[in-house]
Amino acid sequence: MGIKDKTIELIERQLTKKASVLETRTWQGGTFYEVDLHLPEADLGSINGVAHLKCRVAPLTFRDYTIAQWDEETKTCTLFVDAAHDGVGSAWVKLLNQHDEINYLKIEKHRYPLKEKGRYLFLGDQSTVGHFLALRQLIGKNAVVNGSLVIPNPAHRNELAAYYPNFGLEPVALEGTPSATLKGWLSGRPWLSYDFIFLAGNAGMVVEIRHYLRNCGVSGGTIKAQGFWR
């Protein structure tokens, strides 16, 4: 290891915290992963909004993954990583194994106006599974949650339905583009009655669907949009 590499390693050791991998689960095809983590230094009890774990995936390179299904007492959570696209994050998650240690920089929290008894509509793609599971946990059991996730792989649609039967979201096949798929799913449904519409996933899709919703008369305050990737 050269001097530069040693310096980078020292800086990262000083700035980051450690988490241990409890288990990894690979969905069929090896392009989607669930990673259970133990974070002994994290204060998961203070999470009151969607939180992202800024993980070190390569030297001086970090990627944000949503903290889902967290448990304050055991200091555990699950990350859902879409690895269908080439990149350092995809390469990183494919190499993770049980008992591995990972480094993370911090936990970033984002507040949303949530109502325990509200009506919520979630719209997204497969990269938003963790994001929407986190929102579902924050909202609680008394809220009404419906929506749709565009998932091209039929095996993944079956796995989502089997693993998370109470999710409240319908996995739908890709028909044309993700935007066209969501517009088709929305057609004829009483979606204007929801208190909030959460939209997340591919940045281009998010922009297009938000524009579509606004043109249909949805107020800007009702839509909570977040683009994850391009």
Could you give the 3-state DSSP secondary structure of residue 113? Answer: coil
Domains and CATH numbers, the chain: 3-110 (2.40.30.10), 119-229 (3.40.50.80)
Kindly report, residue by residue over 98-151, the tens digit of the pLDDT. Answer: 999 999 999 988 766 676 678 999 999 999 999 999 999 988 778 889 999 999
% of the chain beyond a pLDDT of 90: 68
Average pLDDT over residues 178-187: 94
Average pLDDT over residues 59-80: 95
Kindly report, residue by residue over 29-67, the tens digit of the pLDDT. Answer: 999 999 999 999 999 988 888 999 999 999 889 999 999
Could you give the 3-state DSSP secondary structure of residue 181? Answer: helix
End-to-end CA distance of the chain: 35
Cβ partners under 8 Å of residue 6, min gap 6: none
